[in-house]
Structure 1
């Protein structure tokens, strides 16, 4: 299953660059699964892909980065701006709804197959130390999301709400990836993520507003009036 979207079709040069990069990643992961990360050299990887060592380092700074793949290019600024602006409408869009839209937009731009996802999972199982490097990549994205929430909600920089939201939504995103790539899943990533957001709402429902005295069938009590 593949889910991807781009703003416009890439040119010939860009398509060739993407194919080369994808080949490097694919071969790097296969060699890692067959021999371990220390069981092959960059030169051997280049020979299999059919590129020079110089070309390799134009794409990746190290063998480990090739195995992990190229970092995501991120979301267009227009999508990030729309997330922030959604908190300034009248009434503002609820934060959970805005976050669901943001993650769905991210999912719509993914370009990874189930086979690639499974290969990456197998690599991390064999070479668990790569999780540290992957976590460093994730940290910058987490900080970006935290900053976006702070700006949208108008919260001070030391407010814990944005950090907690980032932590919880990050966990939902990872769980949604597993469900999205599960065998037989018919849903898009956005649909899977929204389903998990709905589960979060069920666990932590918003309190219902208290009815006014008039709505409850009574009359308002004038201020400073003795009710005895």
Structure 2
């Protein structure tokens, strides 16, 4: 019973954390859409959410990070551990797809929130610089993780290419999932992107014209 109570307390704390985090992000995006990036302060944001500055900085290092939803930003340890442990028993591409699908399945963002973020980017396009800058850092870290699993050097071009390819396919799948109506799951969309890549790199691919001739 004691362990059960601890689990319930931990689950409640996690739900509260996610609710607070979502409130910070949503309010930051609303304020940015209404006033622009420089039209409000962290103090005003905290007042609207009902939190202290200290609480805000427990979640995000900057106002821009709150707008973008960057966070407590590392890959979940359980997914990393499973990815590394699968070396030797699961082919790299399959392990990468499983990793990307599991990570994508944990995205804490609704379609409305994704549309809201897109509107913010249109209002403040300089946020794209930060978004892609952070993405480049994460991509480098992802390449190092792949290299570690495959016992390669951290700068091995194969690891770098794998990180770039899977990262791009995951982003395409994320955009397709959030931009569309209710339909295929994130995993189904990602699998279709992977199938397209398989076709491109297949050794026995015979390209044909629109009339069906080589």
Measured against the shorter chain, the TM-score band is: 0.7 to 0.9
RMSD over equivalenced CA pairs, Å: 2.3
Counting helix residues as a fraction of each chain, which structure ranks higher?
A: 2
Shifted more, 140-149 versus 191-200: the winner is 140-149
Q: Distance in 1 between matches of 2:201 and 2:138?
A: 26
Instruction: Report how far residue 142 of structure 1 moved.
Output: 1.3
1:177 pairs with one of 167, 174, 177: 174
Report matched runs for 1:119-158 at 5 Å.
Answer: 119-158=116-155
Question: C-alpha displacement at 1:54, in angstroms?
Answer: 3.4
Higher relative CO (CA 8 A, sep ≥ 6), structure 1 or 2? 1
**For residues 42 and 84 of structure 1, do their structure 2 counterparts lie closer, same or farther at Cα, with a shift above 3 Å needed?**
closer
Is the 1:96–1:197 Cα contact (8 Å) retained in structure 2? no
SS at match of 2:165: helix
**1:168 is matched with which residue?**
165
Query: Conserved in 1, the CA contact under 8 Å of 2:101 and 2:186?
Result: yes
Q: Taking structure 1 as reference, are residues 206 and 94 closer, same or farther at Cα in structure 2, changes over 3 Å only?
A: farther
Q: CA offset at residue 144 of structure 1?
A: 2.6
Shift of 1:136: 3.3
1:207 Cα deviation (Å)?
5.6
Equivalent pair of 1:29/1:120 in contact (CA under 8 Å): yes
1:142-166 deviations in Å (ceiling 9; x for gaps): 1232122212223233321111111
Task: Tell which deviates more after alignment, 25-34 or 184-193.
Answer: 184-193
CA distance in 1, matches of 2:72, 2:56: 18
Q: For 1:60 and 1:87, how far apart are their aligned partners in 2? A: 34
1:179, 1:185 within 8 Å by CA — same for their partners in 2? no
**Paired residues, number:** 198
- Following the alignment from structure 2 to structure 1, what is the Cα–Cα distance between the partners of residues 48 and 88? 53
Q: 1:22-101 maps to which residues of 2 (within 5 A)?
A: 22-71=22-71, 73-89=73-89, 93-101=90-98
CA distance in 1, matches of 2:104, 2:138: 14
Name the CA shift for 1:20/1:87 in 2 (closer, same or farther; >3 Å). Answer: closer
Q: Does the 8 Å CA contact 2:143/2:163 hold for their aligned counterparts? A: yes
Distance 1:199 1:142 in 2: 21
- Rate the CA distance shift 1:86–1:56 in 2: closer, same or farther, 3 A: closer
